[in-house]
Chains A and B, each alone.
Chain A
Amino acid sequence: MNEDERSLLTAAITSGVRAPMDAIERLGNNRTFHIMAAAMSIAIERGFADGTTPAQIQNYVEDLLERFPKADGEIKASALEAVIRAGLGEPELIEPLTYDDLLGASYLLTFDLISQQELDDAGREEYFQTVIALADEES
């Protein structure tokens, strides 16, 4: 994991940290998207147990958008529900989503689900390493 990747992941899970635009520019959209897709995939796996129902996911998304009012209008509730459900075994729901939808969902869900875990330094490092290992699968 290089410093740009660490910087991106740190910003993604830390409140009040500005987007590391220089790092994102160096990483490029492709690598940035892969890292954020991996970060969200693992966050969803950790945040939602097998058997979580669509109704429970809908409730979570409603609550999420209430807690992050700036996301309202920027990130679609349907996209958030679709990626969570995709992570629980309905991957076809992702197909109609745009990269904007996926990227927006990845930032919001990663931040919310991982910050809820209150990881210590070791836990955060382990999460980062797991994310990069997954992102490297397709890079």
Chain B
Amino acid sequence: MALGEVVAQLIAVRGAIQTAIGLTANAADEVTDALAKAEDALAGANHDLAMEGLGLWRRAQSGDEFTVAKLVAADEALAEYLEILSPGSGAGTKNTDIAKPSGEELVKARPTGSRSQNLFRTMVQRDNDIDDAMKDLGKHQKFLEISDPDWEPPPTYTTNEVGHRIPVMTAPDAPQPDAASIGSLAVASGILIVAGAKKAKDITKTAIEHWRSK
């Protein structure tokens, strides 16, 4: 998408916002429509700056309600982005005619539901793809286990036949460490505390390679 088209979309959103400021519920609906159209149009544009500008507007939006203060803030944010995208064109001129609201004057965007309906809708009407974000089904297991008071994490150590405490190996054919290697791991673990994460990772890797090579 050409820069001019991106700017045009953002200007359209700005126009709708300015219409909505201090006006009616229908005007606020127009903002929502303009925003949806702009987002659709910009989705394939890979124009991070424009999308960030819309993100600012999204953050300024408050669920089923638009406060005038938030509309003004969103308009100013978009104006600043337009000035960067198209300097000197006038698209980014701030509207000084807009009266700054003195309080929380509310403009209803659409009928509100119950509190639970509003929260639910806000949670599920996000742009992200849930399947993509939640690829790991194990996350469900992890979170549900948190509320199980009897759940214990799987053991990381066990005791061998001669009474030595050894790490539990997850790979079925993984070699079991001997006493010297366990000593190396123990020393490494002690060093971890003082050596910092990156260094500790290297030390642990070295210790594991040491006993695996035996």
Contacts and interface: CB of A to CB of B under 8 A. Distances in A.
B139 A100 contact: yes
A42 B116 contact: yes
A138 B131 contact: no
A29 B63 contact: no
B144 interface: yes
B197 to A, nearest CB: 16
Contacts of A11: 144
A89 B137 CA distance: 31
A25 B116 CA distance: 26
B147 A15 contact: yes
B174 interface: no
A17 B151 CA distance: 10
Nearest to A71: B146
Contact of B125 (A12, A25, A29, A138): A138
A137 B122 CA distance: 12
Contacts of A98: 133
Interface in A34-75: 34, 37-38, 40-42, 44-45, 50, 68, 70-71, 74-75
B145 A29 contact: no
Interface residues of A, number: 53
A16 B150 contact: yes
Contacts of A112: 147
Residue of B59, B116, B119, B142 ringed by the most chain A CB atoms within 10 A: B119
A75 B120 CA distance: 19
B151 A88 contact: no
Contacts of B61: 92
Interface SS, B side = helix
Interface residues of B, number: 38
A104 B146 CA distance: 9
Contacts of B95: none
A70 B131 contact: no
Residue of B120, B149, B150 ringed by the most chain A CB atoms within 10 A: B120
Given A29-B131, A33-B130, A86-B122, A103 B140 contact: yes
B33 to A, nearest CB: 19
A50 B118 CA distance: 14
A28 to B, nearest CB: 7
B120 A12 contact: no
Given A99-B128, A102-B123, A24 B62 contact: no
Contacts of B214: none
Interface of B: 58-59, 61-64, 114-125, 128, 130-131, 133-135, 137, 139-151
* 6 A-B pairs with least C-beta separation: A91-B63, A19-B144, A111-B147, A41-B116, A45-B116, A91-B122
Given A37-B123, A107-B147, 12 more contacts: A12-B147, A18-B144, A29-B130, A41-B117, A45-B119, A74-B142, A74-B143, A86-B119, A95-B59, A100-B134, A108-B146, A108-B147
